[in-house]
A and B are shown apart, each in its own frame.
Chain A
Amino acid sequence: MVRSDARYPLDRRTFLTLTGISAAALAMGTGVPAHAAPVNSRVPADPFGLGIASGEPTPDGVVLWTRLTPEPLAEDGHGGMPPRDYTVEYEVAADDRFRDIVKSGRAVASPELAHAVHPEVTGLEPAREYFYRFRVGGEISPVGRTKTAPAADADPGSLAFAVASCQAWYHGHYTAYRDMAEQDLDLVLFLGDYIYEYGITEANLWRQGVGELSAAHAATTITLEQYRLRYALTKHDPHLRAAHAHAPWLVTPDDHEVENNYADDASQYGMSPEDFLRRRAVAYRALYENQPLHSDSLPEGPDMRLYRRLRYGKLAEFNVLDTRQHRNDVPSDGGTPGGEHTDPERSILGERQEEWLYEGLKVSDAVWNVLAQQVVVASIDRDTGPGTEYSMDIWDGFTANRERLFEVLTSNDVANPLVLTGDIHRHSATELKADFADPDSATIGTELITTSVASDGDGSDSDHLADLWLGNPHVKLYNARRGYLQVAMTPTEVTSEFKVIDQIEADDTGTVSTAARFVTEAGRPGLNEVSGGQQ
């Protein structure tokens, strides 16, 4: 065993200082090249029940992920693993039969991280498909497919990606992922609410045919074992596993990975910041353990670095944002014109993330500058009459932050801003206006909002909020079914296809169709609806 003290690896800086980088990489589960074969204690059978994944693609690498869980739904959150370290080997090949293995290595799966490993594979070719698998003891994982990003100076002709959010396991089947796993994709973006913290009871278990859940699932997730168990329940779904195995993912959380509508250290349920940060710490730990995230995102106490930038050659830059951890608390004015929510000091990103974002946007040479984030950026007046009413949980609660962002976009001629959003459990698409109160003002960007994968159950094409949303002239689409968003990006246009499913509660056989299809031309922000959709 390489490491000297099982307690250090989670304090990254301390551990790197004490033991050197390669030992730290192995102990943190981030991987080192393979040399001698490892010796493991007996490994329980079938440890890959939660599947495999890859993420964070760069031109020369990806992060791989798996978590050893011979009993995925063990209620102590440890997946049926003994409290010991196990060495997991991984292989990356140019072909799906592993005749041409280009990289191999090993990483330690430790009980501190619920036996998750996150090997960071480098030295791969850009814009290339690879296959990967894991081995521990005599057990071999399913094979995953992944793809590296193009070289930073490349001019890719196209990029295909899917966007998903809000997958309350208990509200329905993951039919969206069944369909997604059949598409030709370079990347999957997940924009938050991968798990929900609520207890699962008879009242909210709309996903049919899943049998009876033990009492442990009825608890609101507060402890680490409860968050781990909720991830296990969620990731046990075969279609979600297939989608993870199909393409690299970029994952960012929203509120429900911790608690509904939280803001930084503020719970909306009357809890002290000191107590709430304890919950955020275990929720972030479980998030890291269950996603293909880079070690840059390894939490330290209650903090987790989640905003980051990935480049797809000169075609696109993805700015992955964190609009929860650094935001100001809910304003007291409730949206009164000129009230606290317009305070210039307020920020949904926090000062450091704003600075990081603006500096990146100013120097970007990408054709498409993508903001992959959680909550709606466009202003949405929720009063269908002459008055105004705004949600304070979205960018409308942080108007000065939105103005600063738009100022950076316009004054620096940032090319083709494209915002990707989740949160609202509806498909929508908006034109971002220089002045949302003036429909004739310039359109400075485009926002594509994906509906939920499962949250809110079957849904319907229209519902009681349709008039509210479509009453805002910059809103060009509203659909309240479940589904996901598929995007085809080229240097000249972005085609967005809003996919919906006729039902998800009864079973996973629902029919997937396209509710709407839009083209956004490079150099001409906005939405042009094209044929092929069925609204």
Chain B
Amino acid sequence: MTTEPAPVTGATAEGRTGAIDLSWDLPGWEPLVDHFAIHASKSPEVEISSATLVGTTVYGRFSHDTLGPEPVTRHYRIVTVDAAGGRSTPSETVRASSTKSMTTYGRALAQVGEFDSKSLELALAPAGGPRGFRAAFPDGVDFVHGRSDPGTDWSYLHPGPEDEWAGRTEHTFRLRFTLDTVPEARSDSRSG
């Protein structure tokens, strides 16, 4: 009974540290799109299966953001699923590579948690922030490397003035760490 929606066009992919950002052209309103299913593969042959499904969205963009600090290459095809359950043929394949994080070659001065695009090892994760941040961190986060515990002392999210649930105010986080000597050149920080 159902017919097949058209696949998306105009797909692009662009890498950054730890992630690849995809975008495509949004089609018209009929048939209504239930979602776009994003499939990813290391090889150019992207099989359409639950094993390759990395996410679904109704938006015209998707960030594949759990790729880790080492650069990786992925190929993507997008399947459009409409309101009746009809599935398009896959889009053209697009390809991109994430870029290398400085954490893979730099010398760590201090590290909180893991670079894994997840936050489960941090305080209030996975969903305690909106209820617990103000109670747990009334004066903001103040973390002393080597002494504080990421599981209780580093919030998995840091609200800003637009976050109503956190009182729409600025919050400060401090990460204190010790240097053996004063460095001659600047240092960088990365989150992830």
A199, B85: Cβ atoms closer than 8 Å? no
Q: At the interface, yes or no: A336 with Cβ under 8 Å from chain B? A: no
Q: At the interface, yes or no: B126 with Cβ under 8 Å from chain A? A: yes
A70 — which chain B residues lie within 8 A by C-beta?
A: none
Q: At the interface, yes or no: A278 with Cβ under 8 Å from chain B? A: yes
B1, A111: Cβ atoms closer than 8 Å? yes
B86 — which chain A residues lie within 8 A by C-beta?
A: 83
A299 to chain B, nearest CB (A): 8
B158 to chain A, nearest CB (A): 15
Residues B24-73 near A (CB distance < 8 A): 26, 29-35, 56-61
Give the nearest-CB partner of B2 in chain A.
A83
Q: At the interface, yes or no: B84 with Cβ under 8 Å from chain A? A: yes
| CA gap between A426 and B111 in the complex, in Å | 45
Find B3's partner among A6, A300, A301 (CB 8 Å cutoff): A6
| CA gap between A7 and B3 in the complex, in Å | 8
A285, B35: Cβ atoms closer than 8 Å? no
A279 — which chain B residues lie within 8 A by C-beta?
A: 58-59
A193 to chain B, nearest CB (A): 16
A406 to chain B, nearest CB (A): 28
Known: A201-B126, A222-B58, A224-B35. A84 touches B1 (CB 8 A): yes
Residue interface mask A500-532, B partner, CB < 8 A = 1: 000000000000000000000000000000000
Find A275's partner among B32, B35, B61 (CB 8 Å cutoff): B61
Q: At the interface, yes or no: A282 with Cβ under 8 Å from chain B? A: yes
Known: A85-B1, A112-B83, A274-B26. A10 touches B31 (CB 8 A): yes
Chain A, interface size: which category?
A: 35 or more
Give the nearest-CB partner of B36 in chain A.
A223
A223, B2: Cβ atoms closer than 8 Å? no
Q: At the interface, yes or no: B102 with Cβ under 8 Å from chain A? A: no
Q: At the interface, yes or no: A39 with Cβ under 8 Å from chain B? A: no
Q: At the interface, yes or no: B167 with Cβ under 8 Å from chain A? A: no
Q: Interface size of B by Cβ–Cβ distance < 8 Å?
A: 29
| CA gap between A453 and B77 in the complex, in Å | 43
| CA gap between A261 and B164 in the complex, in Å | 10
Q: At the interface, yes or no: B128 with Cβ under 8 Å from chain A? A: yes
A213 — which chain B residues lie within 8 A by C-beta?
A: none
Find A204's partner among B81, B83, B84, B127 (CB 8 Å cutoff): B127
Find A112's partner among B60, B61, B84 (CB 8 Å cutoff): B84
Give the nearest-CB partner of B83 in chain A.
A112
Give the nearest-CB partner of B127 in chain A.
A203
Give the nearest-CB partner of A200 in chain B.
B127
A6 — which chain B residues lie within 8 A by C-beta?
A: 1-3, 84
Give the nearest-CB partner of B85 in chain A.
A83
Known: A83-B86, A278-B33. A271 touches B59 (CB 8 A): yes
Known: A7-B30, A222-B57, A282-B32. A78 touches B2 (CB 8 A): no
Secondary structure at the B interface, as helix, strand, loop or mixed, is loop
Give the nearest-CB partner of A11 in chain B.
B30
Residues A66-118 near B (CB distance < 8 A): 76-78, 83-85, 110-114
A307 to chain B, nearest CB (A): 21
Known: A85-B1, A224-B32. A278 touches B60 (CB 8 A): yes
B32 — which chain A residues lie within 8 A by C-beta?
A: 10, 112, 224, 281-282, 285, 301
Q: At the interface, yes or no: A225 with Cβ under 8 Å from chain B? A: yes
Find B30's partner among A10, A78, A222, A274 (CB 8 Å cutoff): A10
| CA gap between A199 and B127 in the complex, in Å | 9
Residue interface mask A234-249, B partner, CB < 8 A = 1: 0000000000000000
A203, B126: Cβ atoms closer than 8 Å? yes
B30 — which chain A residues lie within 8 A by C-beta?
A: 7, 10-11, 301
- Most B Cβ at <10 Å: residue of A7, A270, A281: A7
A275, B59: Cβ atoms closer than 8 Å? yes
B1, A83: Cβ atoms closer than 8 Å? yes
B133 to chain A, nearest CB (A): 13
B60, A201: Cβ atoms closer than 8 Å? no
B56, A111: Cβ atoms closer than 8 Å? no
Q: At the interface, yes or no: A302 with Cβ under 8 Å from chain B? A: yes
A270 — which chain B residues lie within 8 A by C-beta?
A: 162
Residues B61-109 near A (CB distance < 8 A): 61, 81, 83-86
Give the nearest-CB partner of A289 in chain B.
B83
Instruction: List 15 A-B residue pairs with CB atoms under 8 Å apart, sorted by A's residue number.
Output: A6-B84, A11-B30, A85-B1, A110-B84, A112-B2, A112-B32, A201-B127, A225-B34, A225-B35, A225-B81, A275-B60, A279-B58, A282-B35, A282-B83, A285-B32
**Interface residues in chain B, defined as those with a beta carbon under 8 Å from any beta carbon in chain A:** 1-3, 26, 29-35, 56-61, 81, 83-86, 126-128, 131, 162, 164, 168
- What 9 A-B pairs come out closest when comparing CB atoms? A223-B35, A301-B29, A224-B34, A203-B127, A111-B84, A275-B59, A278-B58, A112-B84, A84-B1
Apart from A222-B57, A224-B34, A282-B35, list 14 A-B contacts with CB within 8 A.
Answer: A6-B2, A6-B3, A6-B84, A10-B83, A83-B85, A201-B127, A203-B128, A222-B59, A223-B34, A268-B162, A271-B59, A274-B60, A278-B59, A300-B29
